[in-house]
Amino acid sequence: MISMTRTDFRDIASIVYKVAGIALSDGKFELVQSRLRKRVVHTRKKSYSEYVRYVQGEAGGKELQSMIDAITTNETRFFREAAHFDFLRDVVFRETTRPLRIWCAAASTGEEPYSIAITLRDHFQQSATSKVLATDINCEVLAVARRAVYSEARIASLPATTRDRHFRQVNGTNGDRQFQVKPDTRGLVRFARLNLVNEWPMKGAFDVIFLRNVMIYFDGPTRQWLGARACAHLRPGGYLFIGHSESLGINPPGYRNIQPAIYQRTEGSEITLPRRPM
């Protein structure tokens, strides 16, 4: 069996940090070795070091994306950290009647952006015209998200009324029961690939940004940098949602803390973007 050396791990960690901003601690050695073993075999390389050289070479661009896909973790579920969706419905949606611009920056397999879309549909009914931009660095999970098909187990925690209103049963590949998000709800979400440490090409300010459960994979300076970038892309008074295990630090510039893991961009705040930590 092909084994990864500590030197290989450090080289891979350096590539991943440079490309995606993800900080791989020494404790991730076994995880990285396990997840990349299939990629080493798939590319017919004889060692991890040969694989690293291939990824860094001119012919390795596509494989570099496959490597990032293999390493990134995509744990998610519908209405994860449910208090955020209550705040979205009870506070954000009641502040305005105009269409909202919402960005879900770590879409994974789609449960989070579709939870936002379901909340929109339930609150605004047929007049729901707000749009959700959903992005992720991982191409494989985005393909799952676009299909919007989930196993019965994945939607088991949803109320029956939500399942009936927003999902339709489809035939699974193995004859099992699967459920697809209905077109009217699915149509509120647009998916795109985006590496958070690269340029953000979106034009105009967002009313809401979900940057949840992704910053735990970055180091402190990168988290602060991403928080500042998000603030610059929020309209004054707009809201940033992060994961409950995450933090922007003490008194992050441009924000005031509203509730646990919910921040609001302060009126009149000027944001100077720092350079990306390297």
Residue 12 contacts by C-beta under 8 Å, 6 or more apart in sequence?
4, 24, 32, 36, 48, 52, 67
Q: Is 136 a catalytic residue?
A: yes
Annotate 193-204 with b (16+ C-beta within 10 A) or e (fewer).
ebebbeebeeee
- What residues contact 186, with CB distance under 8 A and at least 6 apart? 114, 117, 148, 180
Annotated catalytic residue within 35, 146, 154, 163? 35
Q: Smallest Cα–Cα separation from 55: which of 88, 24, 5, 13?
A: 13
The reply to whether 35 belongs to the active site is yes
User: From CA 252, how far away is CA 255, in angstroms rounded?
Assistant: 6
At residue 137's C-alpha, the angle toward residues 135 and 140, to 5°, is: 95
| Helices 61-71, 6-20: crossing angle, 10 deg rounding | 100
**Rounded to whole angstroms, how far apart are CA atoms 105 and 114?**
13
- Give every CB contact of residue 257 below 8 A, 6+ residues apart in sequence: 263
Active-site entry in 8, 69, 136, 207: 136
What is the distance between the alpha carbons of residues 273 and 231, in angstroms, rounded to a whole number? 9
**DSSP reduced 3-state for 171:** strand
The b-or-e profile of 265-278 (16+ CB within 10 A means b, else e) is beeeeebeeeeeee
H-only helix segments in 21-110: 29-42, 48-56, 61-71, 83-87
**Residues facing residue 150 across a β-bridge:** 179
Please give the positions annotated as active site.
Answer: 35, 136
